[in-house]
Amino acid sequence: MQAKIKEKTPFRVASANKLYAKMATDSDVYEYGIDTNGNIYFAYLNGIIKRYSRRSFIQMSRS
């Protein structure tokens, strides 16, 4: 799966952009971005890949 978008600000919501930047700069993340299905993903060094839909990522950033 290839990353489609790797932007600094992929969202219109400021809190979602802050959370995206914070999670992307985590020392355990080796790859991140938005996949071809539009899901946000973070691949960690321990082999876990966490995927979020845009809606759930924004809701997570607001809570």
Q: b vs e for 6-38, b when ≥16 Cβ sit within 10 Å of the residue's Cβ?
A: eeeeebeeeebbebbeebeeeeeeeebbbeeee
pLDDT in tens for each of the 63 residues of the chain?
Answer: 555 555 677 888 999 999 999 999 999 999 998 888 889 999 999 999 999 999 999 999 998
pLDDT at position 42, please? 95
| Cβ–Cβ under 8 Å, residues 48 and 54 | no
pLDDT at position 11, please? 86
- pTM, 2 dp: 0.82
Cβ-proximal residues to 15 (8 Å cutoff; 6+ apart), any chain: 58, 61, 62
Distances (CA, A) of 54 to 24, 46, 51, 60: 15, 24, 10, 10
